[in-house]
Each structure stands twice: as structure tokens, then as C-alpha cells.
Amino acid sequence: HDRMPVVLPPDAWEPWLDPTVDDMDLLQSFLVPAPNELITMHKVSTEVNSVRNKGAELVEPLPQ
């Protein structure tokens, strides 16, 4: 299924995380695709698929 991470600029962190903010227009304005230069992708180990596995090495790029 499709997923899109929410990538917020620092000035949006507080209102995004504040449960008392109810300005839906403001919150909706944060839901835009991140600029392409901020997002990269690479293949990682299938070990990342198990919740039993932990560690930063799980998201290290695989050799090409």
C-alpha cells in the first residue's frame, strides 16, 4: 500500500504535535509532499520486516 511520510519544517513541529491545536486548515497545510531533494530511497535488508530485529544497521543501504 502507498505511504507518504510527513516531513515537517521545524516551525511546524510544535503545532503538529500539540493535541490542543484544532485549526484543521493549519494542520492540513502540513500534509504536502516533501521536496524531492529531501527524500531518498535505497534497498535495505529484508531483516527490517521483523519486529524482533532492532538496530540502525537494518536501514543501511545494501550493496548494489
pLDDT of 2-54, one tens digit each?
Answer: 787 889 999 999 999 999 999 999 999 999 988 889 888 899 999 999 999 99
Q: What is the pLDDT of residue 1?
A: 62
Domain ranges of the chain: 10-59
User: What is the three-class DSSP state of 3?
Assistant: coil
State if pTM tops 0.75.
Answer: no
CB atoms under 10 Å from CB of 16, counted, come to: 13
CA angle 62/2/64 to nearest 5° reads: 15
DSSP tag of 61: P
Q: What is the pLDDT of residue 62?
A: 95
